[in-house]
Structure 1
Amino acid sequence: MDRLAAEDMLLFVNAAITATGQREFRGDAAGQRLSLDFLHEYMAVNYRDLYAAALALDVNDHNAALIALRLLTTAGDASDGQRRVEGRLIAARLRALPPQRVYRLFRDLRRARVNNRRTRALIRDWLAARPDSALDAVKYRAGVKVALRHAHLAPARDELGPFLFAPFSRPRYATPLLETWRRAHYEKAAVYELPYTVAEGFAARHRIGRTAFLERIAPRLTRLERLRLQGAARRDGVDAVVADLGGMPLTRLAGYVLSLPVADRAARRAELTSALRAAARRACGPDAGRWGRVAAVLDDSFSASGSAQKRRRPLAVALACHHLLEALAGEYVALWTSGRTDALLVRPYGMTPLGDRVLDALEHEPQRLVVVSDGWDNAPPGLAAEVLRVWRTRLDPDRRVSAVHLNPVYDADAFTARRLAPEVPTVGVRRAEDVPALVRFARLAEGTTGLAELRAHLAGRVDRLLEER
């Protein structure tokens, strides 16, 4: 039974890292949501302690919110001790979530009519910890109203009540941002003093041209907004929106690089390569250069193009992993499935000859073998699994070489990230920045781990999360 529990937990964690309820290259959104809903229900009913502890792991924001929602809606099934631990875990994880995701969770709790004392306390404490209640009231107006009503709370500032529920009942506001929002209904100049996401709606209301709007709002854009808007701004002839690539998260930066035309990437080679390598060094931290000889097999086949909702996401993860592994390794060789050698110019194309590339990687006699792929080996089908089986059972039965398969894609039919071979652990990956932790977690997924070791790992992560709080 312990072995079964460990396997179930590992399967769930892989799903919670990769699945987002959106369409994948080979699967639709409805199937993924149905598959995820089953997994969450199964884990919450059978392994509630382990299910709650998953909040301390690298599960993505979508699944973290689903776990919090299910724990709160099924509070009656938990003991007093479980509820206390769950409350602390949920509170700690909520602070790490984007605010719009948290406000969506509060809306879902209201729809589910979950309004017990613990839920109200969580909402109260989260709102009280927000750094700028006026900014939240302007950017997430509907969400703040739902949260206050559901938890029966008074607004943090005297002016927020009238602003949220009767915004034009006052001729002016003392809080500068609230007053700017009021003036923006009548003055075009006030639009450019608001956050971009709010100002965009007012620009449409005042029929301000896109080019003029982007030029004047540029100083107020956040770093991520600049990154997202830079391509569109250039097409509109706006040079004021320039993305600052320094300090950008590695995987997000890789996605931005892949969004550029190949010609632009080639023209900006020095700038983009330097930014990617700097982001990789920040991500690997003290582990830089300590992984010895690393061989990576990286999937840039056509399926790496992802879907309309997750455009080029699998390829972005592979590109980010490439730069991270390069920074972690003492010696490094990268083998793309397409045969390309220029990582900056990769694009999703062709079949997936994983078996051939794994053979090529093993010829380099690495200390670590890392495969980043969706697991669909089709040129020829099954060759990678057979290569890895023979290698593990005949050539390296003592496991002198560490091997792991990182899969950025959720397979709804398998309820987890698709595996390459039973002999090599597969772990889901959402961000390349999580790879060092995921590789350590892969040891728990190799099929030899018992529940006690898994519980010890989870307990350590839980303690770390609660200490950070």
Structure 2
Amino acid sequence: MSELVAAEDVLLFVNAAVTATGQREFRSSAAEQRFSLAFLHAYVRINYRPLYASCLALDINDHNAALIAEHLLRTPGEAGPGEGRLIAARLARMAPQRVYRLFRALRAAGVNNRRTRAIVRDWVAARPDPALDAVKYRPGVKAALRHAHVPAADAETGDFLFAPGRRVRYGNPTLEAYRRAHYEEAALYGLPFTVAEGFAARHGVARPVFLERMAPRMTRLERLRTAREAGAAGGLPGMPLTRLALYVLALPLAERAARRAELTGALRTAARRAAGPYAGSWGWVAGVLDDSFSASGSAVKRRRPLAVALGCHFLLEALAAPGAYTGLWTSGGTDPLLVRPYGPTPLGLRVLDALDTGPERLVVVSDGWDNAPPGLAGEVLRVWRSRLDPERRTAAVHVNPVYDARGFDVRRLGPSVPTVGIRDAEDLPALVEVARFAEGRTGLAELRAYLDRRVADCLAAHERERKEGGR
């Protein structure tokens, strides 16, 4: 029993680390989210520190990965073997601005032990373009170098950061472009997009002209954010599924209908890419997808739950056998491209409709607030599992994109079907594997073995990337 409790505690934390970002949700404030997360991080770190560190190898979001790294580095006296390598491997996968934010938090907290300095030194040394970082993340770079007593990558970068008036010009093209951009418009097109935007406004450059000339230097995400503004669709190919779904949902309904072929093709391509080797392997699949009003999210996470549901719809279509997928929206709508957050959440009725199709897999994508009538989905699943399908011919899982701060977990439909948190739709295949631990029939030993395997894979991938980068 104690092992089952421990496994449930760790899985509860994993659900929170996947979904929660400390931001306001539809039914909870940012303060409630942060308080709830702070408690969970402290509880799991103190009671299950090795498993807490192992969560860095899972597909948790970067916000919680940074919190785990910070909490582990704050308590070096409790450190276990291999923690430093695991932290370094996770930081290598994170966006640089988040890592610099973590380093500033460690500096503010006065955390400057030998392990912390080594991690900062190695991460900074592995950056592919120190001059680009110095221009794009200047405050973060300066804080990290000062706190860890790490010298700049070269003399020019050091002067740019700490003695900007010392040099008349720079040999590095990025640093020189930054210097010249203060008085020369042409120089700003040699800078990163986010830095060049400020100089373009200062020089009075027309926005369409600026976007057209900056296109070759923009990242995929920057192209996606500016695609509609520039009247182009060049950012859609290759975009992650959930980000693409967010982009689609931000468009007016009329524009979605007018661009139906383009947007549907892009979503299906992204879904096939996310499915990878699992494409077509799930047999008959039924999906129950929540597009009720609560799927509108919050002011800071606008339409995020609905975007996850839309991405899961196209991903489930790719995972199912050809022609063997049925997607059912709670609103009763049949056009996924025109979906919008509206109305109550009749999950129970849609679950009944889904089970009528006789699927091999049932996937429910919802925040779990079944309210039309309340609790019907959980009761349907309980009766179905205990009376109609005790042999478990149909595999069922509930994936929830919203963290419930008051419950310290994602909201569940009932004990008969496992529930896991989800942040991005493309993580769905991996989360189905985690869902088997959430059924309450496996203990800590099985979960520990799974986490050990994920840690080994994470460290091996990091070592390969480090060696390839050093060539």
Q: How high is the TM-score relative to the length of structure 2?
A: 0.96
Contact persistence 2:368–2:411 (CA under 8 A): yes
- Using the aligned pairs only, state the percent identity: 71
- 1:392 is displaced (CA, Å) by 1.0
Distance 1:397 1:456 in 2: 28
Give the corresponding residue for 1:453. Answer: 446
Match of residue 395, structure 2, among 390, 394, 402 = 402
- 1:208 is displaced (CA, Å) by 3.6
CA RMSD of aligned residues (A): 1.1
Distance 1:332 1:209 in 2: 47
Which segment drifts farther, 57-66 or 196-205? 196-205
Within 5 A, what are the aligned runs for 1:1-400?
Answer: 1-78=2-79, 82=80, 84-231=81-228, 233=229, 238-239=230-231, 242-330=233-321, 331-400=324-393
Distance 2:245 2:216 in 1: 24
User: Which secondary structure does the structure 1 equivalent of 2:406 belong to?
Assistant: coil
- 1:168 is displaced (CA, Å) by 2.3
Distance 1:223 1:456 in 2: 37
Deviation per residue, 1:13-67 (Å, 9 max, x gap): 0000000000111111000000000000001111000100000111100000000
Distance 1:190 1:242 in 2: 27
Contact persistence 2:227–2:235 (CA under 8 A): no
Deviation per residue, 1:131-155 (Å, 9 max, x gap): 1111101100111101100110111
- 1:209 is displaced (CA, Å) by 4.1
- 1:243 is displaced (CA, Å) by 3.0
Deviation per residue, 1:82-130 (Å, 9 max, x gap): 1x41101100000000000000000001011110111011011101111
Contact persistence 2:26–2:294 (CA under 8 A): yes
Distance 2:161 2:105 in 1: 20
User: Which secondary structure does the structure 1 equivalent of 2:287 belong to?
Assistant: strand
- 1:77 is displaced (CA, Å) by 2.2
Does residue 468 of the first structure (1) align with residue 430 of the second (2)? no
Distance 1:105 1:91 in 2: 13
Number of matched pairs: 459
- 1:393 is displaced (CA, Å) by 1.2
Distance 2:11 2:311 in 1: 24
Contact persistence 2:288–2:327 (CA under 8 A): yes
User: Which secondary structure does the structure 2 equivalent of 1:371 belong to?
Assistant: strand
Q: What one-letter code is carried by the residue in structure 2 that aligns with 1:20?
A: T
- 1:247 is displaced (CA, Å) by 1.1
User: Which secondary structure does the structure 1 equivalent of 2:190 belong to?
Assistant: coil
Distance 2:330 2:233 in 1: 33
- 1:449 is displaced (CA, Å) by 1.2
Distance 2:12 2:169 in 1: 55
Distance 1:416 1:377 in 2: 16
- 1:3 is displaced (CA, Å) by 1.2
Distance 2:382 2:4 in 1: 22
Q: How high is the TM-score relative to the length of structure 1?
A: 0.96
